[in-house]
Structure 1
Amino acid sequence: MGSYIDIDSHDGKRFRAYHAAPAQGSGPGIVLLQEIFGINGYMRAMADRFAEEGYVVLVPDLFWRMKPGVELGYGEADFNEALGLNEALDIDLAVGDIGATLDALRTLPMQAGKVGAIGYCLGGKLAVLAAARLDLDCAVSYYGVGLDAYIGEIPSIRCPMLFHFAGDDAFCPPATREHLLAAFTANPKLEAHVYPGCDHAFATPERPHYDKPAATMAYSRTVSLLRRTLGPIHDLNALWERHCYYEFATRDVDAVMPTMIAEPYVNHVPTMTGGVGHDELKRFYRHHFVNANPDDTRLIPVSRTIGADRIVDEFVFCATHDREIDWLLPGLAPTGKYFEVPMLAVVCFRGDKLYNEHIYWDQASVLVQIGVLDPAGLPVAGIQTAKKLIDETLPSNTLMRNWATSAGKPI
């Protein structure tokens, strides 16, 4: 949780900003720019999240000249008040206050290195103007409103900048968006993504148009830009290796949990096993996973893709079904059968900690191998799926009855 600090404006006055700092004590800086609802719970939560990513964050009160301390919800009355404040806002003064916030951020003892800006809605517009008029190292605009009125400032943006557009945003209709995208092509530092079927404020969980998949993808792209331009760069490979070492080599639950954020989650997709939050996940690890795997369990690495905030790990899980494996084969008594199954782990990080894991595998293949599913007449295979993943020269299309019918046909 963060706290509020005072900032000196360029015209000799003072206003407040919410301040969140990373657990490691220092990091690059971010100025987080509010929606039209002031520094409400959502803005503070996002500041705390970016601090968890390793950034020193300030969220300036941009309405302070009219009404200090605005913190509105999303009901009708608050929405109408927010619209009034937005209409009355002096944009040039607001950009000046963002500049003062940048000055204050750079003087904080824990701020180290470069500084960026991220804005939502009103803040998305102000992020564009800040990138054009102020000294920033990167900027991000989430569904900025009224950008067409400032299209002439696009050429002045000198730092890398990322734009997230909602495909169905009434505040930025398709014609306006296409006009903006055309203007972006002249500036190679600009990157834009459109999220089809999404409406304005798709990244705000409390708003009716919240779209979690789009919000997750936009956030990942945002973190990617931040890592490239501001840092910090974490060795995700080493972090994941250490986590897996405690899970499968030492089988030490008390060592596993500190490799993750305070409230992580794990989802084994085919069986929906795992846990959400520290306590549920630790219970799962201790009683149903880490100490419950067969003694001969081994992982055969196949490939690993490392991004800015996640790892995609491809491997073969090998074991003998010599006990009930709660997370993989819940409710099935041991059969004594050996099995191998390809698995895919998508592992997301926040800063230098694991945030979540999504683990996928072909459950039908496991059931065939332990003898509880008869593959006759079904498009499923047993251990062959693992063998072919390792050796691509093994025959393809063996489950396709119609494969032979295309032999000799033009291709």
Structure 2
Amino acid sequence: MAKKDIEIRTKDGAARAGLFGAGAKAGVILYMDAFGPRPALDGMAERLAGEGYAVLVPDLFYRHAPYGPFDAATAFENEDSKKALMAILGSTTQEMTIRDSGAFIEALVSEGVTGSVGVVGYCMGGARALNAAASYPDKIKAAASLHGGNLASDAPDSPYRRAVEIKARVYVGTAGVDRSFPPEQSARLAEALRAAEVDHIIENYVGMAHGWCVPDHGAYNKAGAERHWKRLIEFFSEALR
């Protein structure tokens, strides 16, 4: 499926994005992991687009362009790339992505999406997907997080704090052992979503490590990734059709 390169005007500049499945009526925004847009994420977006969605993969780090590229398997092992990546991560706030997400939704509409919109985020994108759902409840009907970190941390921008604002269905897939989303955060998130009466599933992928879904990540696990695809496709089919 062909990729269409587009540029999205935001309040802070212009974000590059890839669009797959142009012409589909239902849309999905794929919030990247920490290593930026790259062929691995393009392949994931293309696979999801094959299910009948227009899938947008925006560059959340556009304020720092040009940067990288970063190798997902080794970026944190090399001191120079780790330092550069951590600087970008630290200065790309949740509030920035929340603000940008309005422009992302508008970009899908301008590309012909007239139906429901869903979001899915990996790693750092997981929390951003849930915060986007809380920020645009009339637009976003389904929100998924895979190995998302700090979904229910003590940080003021942790998405569990905004559970009452979420109207979308929510799916959270967690790594079996993940320091960025330990059991106490999972319990806190579950309680917040239950109290807010959000239709949700939190699923623990036992034996998987943080990053298991993304094919160029050092923790990639093919069987676990296929399980996530089965769940994600079913989730979006039920929530967006």
Q: TM-score range by the shorter chain?
A: 0.7 to 0.9
Counterpart of 1:211 (choices 177, 200, 221) is 221
Is residue 2:237 matched to residue 1:227?
yes
Is residue 2:35 matched to residue 1:18?
no
Correspondences of 1:237-248 after superposition (within 5 Å): none
Correspondences of 1:2-151 after superposition (within 5 Å): 2-9=3-10, 11=11, 13-21=13-21, 25-68=23-66, 71-74=69-72, 75=74, 76-77=77-78, 78-109=81-112, 111-134=113-136, 135-148=139-152, 149=155, 150=158, 151=160
- Contact persistence 1:165–1:192 (CA under 8 A): yes
CA distance in 2, matches of 1:69, 1:101: 21
Letter of the structure 1 residue corresponding to residue 133 of structure 2: A
CA distance in 2, matches of 1:188, 1:32: 21
Counterpart of 1:152 (choices 161, 166, 177) is 161
CA distance in 2, matches of 1:204, 1:227: 21
User: How far did residue 215 of structure 1 move?
Assistant: 1.6
CA distance in 2, matches of 1:114, 1:144: 23
- Contact persistence 2:14–2:62 (CA under 8 A): no
Greater alpha carbon shift after TM alignment, 43-52 vs 185-194: 185-194
1:130-150, Cα deviation, whole Å (9 max, x unpaired): 011113011111121121232
Greater alpha carbon shift after TM alignment, 61-70 vs 218-227: 61-70
Letter of the structure 2 residue corresponding to residue 15 of structure 1: A
User: How far did residue 71 of structure 1 move?
Assistant: 3.8
CA distance in 1, matches of 2:31, 2:12: 22
SS in 2 for 1:198: strand
User: How far did residue 31 of structure 1 move?
Assistant: 0.6
Q: As a proportion of its length, which structure holds more helix?
A: 2
User: How far did residue 79 of structure 1 move?
Assistant: 4.5
Greater alpha carbon shift after TM alignment, 135-144 vs 171-180: 171-180
User: How far did residue 67 of structure 1 move?
Assistant: 2.6
**CA 1:43/1:69 → structure 2, altered by over 3 Å: closer, same or farther?**
farther
**CA 1:43/1:57 → structure 2, altered by over 3 Å: closer, same or farther?**
same
CA distance in 1, matches of 2:167, 2:213: 26
User: How far did residue 69 of structure 1 move?
Assistant: 6.1
**CA 1:165/1:49 → structure 2, altered by over 3 Å: closer, same or farther?**
same
User: How far did residue 4 of structure 1 move?
Assistant: 1.3
How many residues in Structure 1 have an aligned counterpart in Structure 2? 227
SS in 1 for 2:220: coil
CA distance in 2, matches of 1:161, 1:67: 32
What is the aligned partner in structure 2 of residue 199 from structure 1? 209
SS in 2 for 1:125: helix
The TM-score normalised by the length of structure 2 is: 0.87
User: How far did residue 26 of structure 1 move?
Assistant: 2.5
**CA 1:89/1:188 → structure 2, altered by over 3 Å: closer, same or farther?**
closer
1:177-233, Cα deviation, whole Å (9 max, x unpaired): 2222232322341211111121111111222222222221121111111111212xx
- Contact persistence 2:101–2:132 (CA under 8 A): yes
- Contact persistence 2:41–2:214 (CA under 8 A): no
Unaligned runs of 5+ in 1: 232-411
1:108-133, Cα deviation, whole Å (9 max, x unpaired): 13x24111111101111100100111
Letter of the structure 1 residue corresponding to residue 148 of structure 2: G
- Contact persistence 1:167–1:174 (CA under 8 A): no
What is the aligned partner in structure 2 of residue 257 from structure 1? none
- Contact persistence 1:30–1:58 (CA under 8 A): yes
User: How far did residue 57 of structure 1 move?
Assistant: 1.1
Correspondences of 1:162-311 after superposition (within 5 Å): 162-186=171-195, 187-231=197-241
SS in 2 for 1:185: helix
User: How far did residue 80 of structure 1 move?
Assistant: 4.3
- Contact persistence 1:170–1:199 (CA under 8 A): no
CA distance in 1, matches of 2:132, 2:163: 11
User: How far did residue 44 of structure 1 move?
Assistant: 1.0
Letter of the structure 1 residue corresponding to residue 134 of structure 2: A
**CA 1:20/1:70 → structure 2, altered by over 3 Å: closer, same or farther?**
farther
1:12-70, Cα deviation, whole Å (9 max, x unpaired): 73221111116xx4231111100011101221111111111111111111111123465
- Contact persistence 2:133–2:167 (CA under 8 A): yes
1:311-348, Cα deviation, whole Å (9 max, x unpaired): xxxxxxxxxxxxxxxxxxxxxxxxxxxxxxxxxxxxxx
The TM-score normalised by the length of structure 1 is: 0.52
**CA 1:27/1:220 → structure 2, altered by over 3 Å: closer, same or farther?**
same
CA distance in 2, matches of 1:19, 1:79: 29
**Cα-Cα RMSD:** 1.8
Q: Percent identity at matched positions?
A: 29
- Contact persistence 2:213–2:224 (CA under 8 A): yes
| Greater RCO structure (CA 8 Å; 6+ sep) | 2
